[in-house]
């Protein structure tokens, strides 16, 4: 990382060790399953073994006979209580809490059992007798489009089609493609995968003696949960207290509200006892928010010299049995419009059709700002295919088409205003650091020997920081975020924000922002998040929005404090506030450095000697961002593929990121390492697969693979800094860049390795078997054409 500020003075840009770590290192984290309340019951859920089946009857009695089992609830019980359905976040659909009439996907929640122990609840769940009548399942979205079997009978229209969405200029794009000297077209599938945080989802629900609900839950967005619970249950919002304690990883999986949460609340209300529900890993992988499942037809038109002239993407999206994708309301395909990437497309058009299938619902999770990952992968793969067909170096093709530094703010063909960027500098830095020319020489030598070596690039642009309230809302709630800061008399303080860290290190980085703005010690700024009784209302942590939105709110709340402090400083210095300046982390009389007071002095005075000023030193800020931020980066993967086994070895991987101003380089690098490893997993290992009967084939960590220390490559990182012009400290957000940018770099590298064989595209995950098959098929084709 290139910023090296003086840690004696500055808090921003310093690799401060994390304040939260001593707690986690000593086993003193407080995760939801660590919370145990007196008299607590445990809940277990009964799941449908069928992907699509009529439910003829449910017999609770055998379960109720198990010692310790206190109650069993079914969908019909919930419907009778008016709690049968829960709203999905972007508001286009609703989801059954427990199946009524029909089960619509394998593992769908059908009944909930409450008992005095985990074990008794699970015993009871095994004994609930359900008479199912299997129905034909619809597994593929392309089959769903035919409407031969219509999955949902509760909706007005008898079709599996959920919605059509489009953006851009359809006719102009058609004309530009017709006129193009070169057109490439490729079906690119971004497979269904799952974020699988190591801590599964869970909750503890308790109604206290005053009838107030205390709800401890693995939530990335506790305030949104509070509002959603109020809307679903009719409980007044002041009677709901949501707490997200320590969260063991989220990656988008802990954004939606799940049926288990509603059941736990209902059980607690019914039985007048606290109820705990902790998912099993199987429940996590089979029922909660999956990611992707986008089937994209990508077309690029270009001149013979490689100048791109048009982009068209037509997508079929598989949303599963309910449209539970947690997108902002006005963006049913999320930020997919970023699909023009880092390039100057004069015209573009993207359209999408979403379908119901008999599969688990979800779609936007897994370290991705609302479909940016799919879009980024599509354009970065397609640019490589274009380069290949034009016989151009993929780096040259990219450079030729990049938006130039002097063009920012840049209006993209699909409507985004990119705030800032410097794509050429980032790419140049990456080329130099990876030693591109040497790698090309080495590759040529290896190719002459028949060895398969590949170099893959991804020069992505992200769009994060949702979002400006005129465009972005969830359930109608504007996507601002908030901060509240109190400075105590002795110069320490507390900052509370509407976000919720799940490992991102907010307890450290938020303190660094406050410390930088106020000249205080970050070790003495306590950070609190996740408790709706104390934190200001915010939309939470996902989509890389914490730093762009809440980070800005924190900075601006601190500046409000500084403005008030200036008046108190003036009182102490016996000067007028206009003559007092904030310089070098203290207040001084303009031009007279000897006459100064520190923020610590002012804090004490705020409570002991404020003069004519209102006592106290605190402020809050609700930040409505004027625009999104647009982090970018150049990623380079170098791979060797064994042509006999199909095994890919990632020999080197370099990530050069530009996320604007860096708050804590160590934390940023950690985020990049983690995201790259998740990108590696998606590129090479992970897919939630269903067989043709709709059975989930990866319901555990034996079949759904998470990279271990043996697979995870060594990561090289570097950065450039192009501050966001509209963010108070110029920060842009970084958590998701590595997962957005890396899959294309990996796949481009493997395809580059296979290009001497004539392999054009293989869909992820690039397992040994798939790569081996691609090599075999290519060699067979060559043998035939040689005959």
Partner 1 sequence: MTKQRVELNVNGEIHEIQVEPRKLLAYALRDECGLTGTHVGCDSSSCGCCVVVLDGETPVKSCTMFAVQAEGHDITTVEGLAQGGQLHPLQQGFWDQHGLQCGYCTPGMLMTSYAMLKEYPEPTEEDVRKFLSGNLCRCTGYNNIVKAVLQAAKALGAEKSEPETTAADD
By CB under 8 A, name the binding residues for partner 1: 17-18, 20-31, 33-34, 36, 118-119, 195-200, 246-249, 251, 280-282, 502-505, 666-667, 669-671, 673-674, 676-678, 700-702, 706, 708-710, 712, 714-715
In three-state form (DSSP H/G/I as H, E/B as E, the rest C), the secondary structure along 74-118 is EHHHHHHCCCCEEECCCCCCEEECCCCCEECCCCCEEEEEEECCH
Nearer to partner 1 among residue 150 and residue 526 (C-beta): 526
First-to-last alpha carbon distance for the chain, in angstroms, is: 55
Q: Residue 394: CB partners within 8 Å, gap ≥ 6?
A: 383, 384, 387, 388, 457, 748, 752
Catalytic status, residue 193: no
Set 192, 226, 312, 367: catalytic member = 367
Nearer to partner 1 among residue 64 and residue 122 (C-beta): 122
Q: Coil, strand or helix: which one is 183?
A: strand
Whether the Cβ atoms of residue 469 and residue 624 lie closer than 8 Å to each other: yes
Helix (H) or strand (E) holding 304: none
Q: Coil, strand or helix: which one is 630?
A: coil
Whether the Cβ atoms of residue 603 and residue 592 lie closer than 8 Å to each other: no
Set 299, 368, 504, 562: catalytic member = 368
Pairing between strand 586-589 and 182-193?
Answer: unpaired
In whole angstroms, the minimum distance from the beta carbon of 678 to partner 1 comes to 7
Nearer to partner 1 among residue 280 and residue 598 (C-beta): 280
Calpha distance 51→360 (Å, rounded): 9
Calpha distance 37→297 (Å, rounded): 52
Nearer to partner 1 among residue 172 and residue 716 (C-beta): 716
In whole angstroms, the minimum distance from the beta carbon of 436 to partner 1 comes to 23
Whether the Cβ atoms of residue 349 and residue 312 lie closer than 8 Å to each other: yes
In whole angstroms, the minimum distance from the beta carbon of 673 to partner 1 comes to 4
- Of 193, 106, 122, the closest CA to residue 704 belongs to 193
Nearer to partner 1 among residue 46 and residue 335 (C-beta): 46
Set 95, 106, 220, 443: catalytic member = 220
In whole angstroms, the minimum distance from the beta carbon of 284 to partner 1 comes to 9
In three-state form (DSSP H/G/I as H, E/B as E, the rest C), the secondary structure along 330-386 is CCCCCCHHHHHCCECCCCEEEEEEEECCCCCCEEECCCCCCCHHHHHHHHHHHHHHH
Calpha distance 253→364 (Å, rounded): 9
For residue 202, the cross-strand partners are 278
Catalytic status, residue 220: yes
- Residue count of the chain: 787
Whether the Cβ atoms of residue 666 and residue 15 lie closer than 8 Å to each other: yes
Helix (H) or strand (E) holding 602: helix 599-608
In whole angstroms, the minimum distance from the beta carbon of 271 to partner 1 comes to 20
Nearer to partner 1 among residue 29 and residue 730 (C-beta): 29
Nearer to partner 1 among residue 209 and residue 708 (C-beta): 708
Strand order in the sheet with 618-623: 525-529, 493-497, 481-487, 618-623
In whole angstroms, the minimum distance from the beta carbon of 15 to partner 1 comes to 8
Catalytic status, residue 736: yes
In whole angstroms, the minimum distance from the beta carbon of 195 to partner 1 comes to 8
Catalytic status, residue 263: no
In whole angstroms, the minimum distance from the beta carbon of 249 to partner 1 comes to 4
Residues noted as catalytic: 220, 367-368, 736
């Amino acid at each position: 990382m290139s910023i090296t500020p003086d840690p004696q003075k500055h808090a921003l840009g310093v690799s401060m060790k994390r304040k939260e770590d001593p707690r986690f290192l000593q086993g003193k984290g407080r995760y939801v399953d660590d919370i145990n309340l007196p008299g607590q019951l445990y809940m277990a859920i009964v799941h449908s073994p069928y992907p699509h089946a009529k439910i003829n009857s449910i017999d609770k009695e055998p379960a109720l006979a198990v010692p310790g089992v206190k109650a069993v609830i079914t969908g019909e019980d919930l419907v009778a209580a008016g709690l049968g359905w829960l709203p999905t976040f972007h508001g286009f659909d609703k989801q059954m809490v427990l199946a009524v009439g029909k089960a619509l996907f394998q593992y769908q929640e059908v009944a909930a059992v409450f008992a005095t122990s985990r074990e008794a609840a699970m015993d009871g769940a095994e004994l609930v007798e359900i008479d199912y009548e299997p129905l034909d399942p619809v597994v593929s979205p392309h089959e769903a489009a035919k409407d031969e079997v219509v999955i949902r009978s509760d909706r007005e229209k008898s079709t599996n089609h959920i919605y059509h969405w489009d953006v851009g200029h359809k006719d102009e794009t058609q004309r530009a493609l017709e006129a193009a000297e070169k057109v490439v077209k490729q079906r690119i599938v971004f497979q269904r995968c799952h974020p699988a945080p190591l801590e599964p989802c869970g909750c503890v629900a308790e109604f206290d003696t005053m009838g107030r609900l205390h709800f401890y839950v693995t939530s990335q967005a506790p305030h949104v949960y509070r509002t959603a619970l109020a809307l679903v249950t009719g409980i007044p919002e002041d009677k709901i207290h949501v707490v997200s304690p320590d969260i063991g990883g989220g990656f988008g999986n802990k954004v939606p509200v799940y049926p288990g949460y509603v059941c736990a609340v209902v059980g607690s209300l019914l039985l007048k006892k606290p109820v705990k529900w902790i998912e099993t890993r199987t429940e996590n992988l089979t029922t909660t928010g999956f990611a992707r499942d986008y089937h994209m037809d990508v077309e690029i038109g270009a001149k013979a010299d490689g100048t791109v002239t048009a982009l068209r993407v037509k997508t079929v999206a598989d949303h599963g049995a309910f449209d539970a994708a947690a997108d902002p309301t006005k963006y049913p395909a999320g930020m997919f419009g970023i699909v023009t990437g880092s390039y100057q497309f004069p015209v573009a058009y993207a359209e999408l059709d979403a379908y119901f299938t008999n599969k688990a619902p979800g779609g936007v999770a897994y370290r991705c700002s609302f479909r940016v990952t799919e879009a980024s992968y599509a354009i970065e793969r397609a640019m490589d295919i274009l380069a290949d067909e034009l016989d151009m170096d993929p780096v040259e093709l990219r450079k030729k088409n990049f938006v130039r530094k002097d063009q920012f703010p840049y209006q993209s063909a699909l409507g985004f205003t990119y705030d800032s960027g410097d794509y050429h500098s980032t790419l140049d830095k990456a080329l130099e650091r990876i030693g591109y020319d040497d790698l090309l020489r080495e590759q040529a030598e290896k190719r002459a020997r028949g060895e398969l070596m590949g170099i893959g690039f991804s020069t992505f642009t992200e769009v994060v920081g949702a979002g400006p309230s005129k465009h972005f809302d969830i359930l109608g709630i504007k996507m601002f975020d908030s901060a509240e800061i109190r400075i105590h008399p002795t110069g320490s303080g507390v900052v509370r924000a509407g976000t919720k860290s799940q490992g991102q290190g907010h307890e450290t980085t938020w303190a660094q922002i406050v410390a930088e703005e106020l000249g205080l010690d970050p070790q003495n700024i306590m950070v609190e998040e996740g408790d709706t009784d104390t934190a200001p209302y915010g939309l939470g942590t996902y989509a890389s929005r914490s730093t762009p939105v809440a980070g800005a709110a924190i900075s601006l709340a601190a500046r409000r404090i500084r403005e008030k402090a200036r008046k108190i400083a003036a009182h102490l210095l016996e000067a007028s506030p206009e003559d007092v300046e904030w310089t070098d982390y203290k207040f001084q009389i303009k031009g007279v450095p000897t006459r100064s007071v520190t923020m610590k002095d002012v804090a004490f005075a705020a409570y002991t000697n404020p003069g004519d000023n209102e006592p106290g030193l605190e402020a809050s800020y609700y930040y409505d961002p004027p625009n999104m931020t647009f982090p970018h980066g150049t990623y380079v993967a170098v791979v060797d593929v064994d042509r006999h086994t199909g095994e890919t070895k990632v020999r080197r991987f370099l990530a050069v990121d530009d996320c604007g101003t860096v708050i804590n380089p160590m934390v940023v690098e950690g985020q990049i390492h983690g995201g790259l490893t998740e990108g590696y997993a998606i590129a090479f290992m992970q897919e939630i697969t269903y067989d043709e009967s709709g059975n989930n084939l990866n319901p555990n960590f034996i079949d759904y693979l998470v990279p271990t220390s043996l697979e995870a490559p060594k990561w090289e990182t570097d950065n450039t800094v192009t501050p966001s012009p509209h963010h108070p400290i110029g920060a842009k957000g970084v958590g998701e860049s590595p997962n957005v940018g890396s899959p294309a770099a990996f796949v481009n590298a493997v395809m580059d390795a296979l290009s001497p064989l004539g392999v054009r595209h293989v869909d992820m995950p690039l397992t040994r078997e798939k790569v081996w098959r691609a090599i075999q098929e290519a060699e067979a084709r060559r043998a035939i054409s040689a005959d």
